[in-house]
Amino acid sequence: MNTKAEMILLAGNSHPELAELIANRIKPLADCRIYKRSEETKVEIGDSIRGKDVFIIQTGSKEPNDNIMELLIMCYACKTSCARNIICVIPYLPYSKQSKMKKRGCIVSKLVAKMLTKAGMTHLITMDLHQKEIQGFFDMPVDNLRAAPFLINYIEHKIPDYRNAVIIARNPSQAKRATAIAERLRLGIAVIHGESEKERESEPDGRTSPPSTVLKPTMESRKSVFQLPNLAFPPRVNPKEKLPMDVVGDVSGKIAIIVEDMIDDVEAFARASDVLRERGAYKIYVMATHGLLSSDAPRIIDGSNIDEVVVTNTVPHEVQKIQCHKIKTVDISLLLSEAIRRIHNQESMSYLFRDITAED
């Protein structure tokens, strides 16, 4: 008979505040020390975890390499200590932005998934993956929770006259996300099209070099084959030209609410707010699940046309909040703690995904 194992909560060093919020709703954190000695990460678990369900709370922060290494060592320590299940609660998965092949790089998020699997992780709880296809990199159950209900609740209760708002997609790829939120709020949408930033300089990587030899077609290959005149090797596609940044949709005299999955490059949002202000938007909000807020984000937000930046607490950003009063936080510990409780009690997770569509 499959009996229910005891639950153990462990937390890494990435976001102790979130871990405490979750623990307050479930049970106290177990004894676990994570520290560095001679620049090497060491993990010491003080409680017995043999035959127990271990939930490890660790998110991504400004030090993703340390976050991943801590998590790997914690997983392996639990595995070698005969834990029954090792469930990792990673609200923001580090390296999730590197989920596509570019030039001679690699898909780093798949590498992270393989390392975590090898270290002993048996189940993943995360939130709003940058690309939903990342779930396929893991050979285990993955629960990709959504923060949209919390952000929608914030709009309804904290934004005065939100009925006069329009949901903004900062680029066409975010149109589905903006549409899903707009339909729930019964609002219209607008899409920002084009780019105002400078073209990214691409260093020569060998792709632009011509072939060393020109192959001449034989008489047999010329038969019944259409050939372009005076062509030595395959034709080159014309490069894309980025259009000037503009807004597709009416934002004049309205509240503009930009929705994204994460806020990292704040300058791009500042430029988008400039365009929205020029088009007549009288108040501009930026809402996202993960507030990475890299480099000098507080200074850029303060000097921009953005009135308020709303993010969840999946990533620690207390220092940025002190530096910029425009940054607001929505607590999502309730959702994570409920997911932990349901998985431990072997209850259905479908309730947490009710009314969630593929576009969310």
Give the CATH number of the domain where residue 181 resides.
Answer: 3.40.50.2020
Residues 131 and 173 in one domain: no
Residues 134 and 178 in one domain: no
Residues 121 and 250 in one domain: no
Residues 176 and 315 in one domain: yes
The predicted structure's pLDDT at residue 65 = 95
- State the residue for tokens 């038969």: 223
Q: Is residue 297 part of a domain?
A: yes
The predicted structure's pLDDT at residue 199 = 38
pTM of the model: 0.88
Amino acid present at 22: I
Residues 132 and 104 in one domain: yes
Element (H or E) spanning 35, and its range? strand 32-37
Residues 27 and 94 in one domain: yes
Tell me if 81 sits within 8 A of 37, measured CB to CB.
no
**At CB < 8 A and 24+ separation, what contacts does 30-35 make?**
32/74, 34/70, 34/74
Tell me if 326 sits within 8 A of 302, measured CB to CB.
yes
Sheet holding 142-145, edge to edge: 7-11, 53-57, 85-90, 123-127, 142-145
Residues 81 and 187 in one domain: no
Rg (CA), the chain: 24
Give the residue ranges of the chain where pLDDT is below 70.
1-2, 196-233
Q: What is the number of structural domains in the chain?
A: 2
The predicted structure's pLDDT at residue 210 = 59
Q: Is residue 257 part of a domain?
A: yes
Q: Is residue 264 part of a domain?
A: yes
For residue 71, what are the domain limits?
A: 7-145
Residues 141 and 154 in one domain: no
The predicted structure's pLDDT at residue 198 = 43
Q: Is residue 100 part of a domain?
A: yes
